[in-house]
Amino acid sequence: MIPNLNDICDCCGGDSQPILQLFNDKCFKVVEGKEARESFCLNDFAFPTDGESCVGLTGTVDGGTVALFDNNVIPESPAQVLQSGRLYARGILLKITYPANDNNGEEIAIADKSVSLIIEKASTLEVVEYSLYNFFAIFTNPKSNKISDLINKIEIVNPNLDYQVRVSALIVYGLAN
């Protein structure tokens, strides 16, 4: 069900702020009032999968870290290939949601809503960290046997002790040839 846009964001004396929303036609649309200004559609998105994991990955993180997946790849050389017949996490749909209020019932300022997304490359084990607010993403690695084409690990870190974030993920796996 798509909520009434005026119920989501009502500010500035009754003027609605444009918002990004996902609609039943598989399109994200920037809408203002009842008018859609731009759209980004996923109706042609497809990715091969040999397995999936979702149940149990929805959870909360407060002042800690949650690993969404870890392929446990240890690179020996840049030319190394993945182990044939083994499932590797190849893609993830990820959503992070913040509460409106902290543990004391106080409203959380938008500037204080920040967690980190940590991505580890499989080829070098180099870690890249991104600060983020409300977050939705789809990552898919190529269906390849090269370690350089694989994300090794993804973690979410919430340094905030006074509120929890909800992390939801659907992880898709692919077999190495």
Fold of 51-175: Jelly Rolls (2.60.120)
pTM value? 0.75
Burial class (CB within 10 angstroms; exposed 0-12, middle 13-18, buried 19+) of 25: exposed
Residue-wise burial string across 127-158, b where 16 or more C-beta atoms lie within 10 A, e elsewhere? eeeeeeeebeeeebbebebbbeebbbbbbbbb
Residues 93 and 138 sit within 8 Å (Cβ to Cβ): yes
- Interval 49-105: pLDDT, tens: 887 765 445 567 788 898 999 999 988 765 678 888 999 999 888 888 889 999 999
- Interval 97-144: pLDDT, tens: 889 999 999 999 888 888 999 999 998 999 999 988 878 888 888 888
Residues 149 and 81 sit within 8 Å (Cβ to Cβ): no
> For the chain, what are the domain ranges?
5-41, 51-175
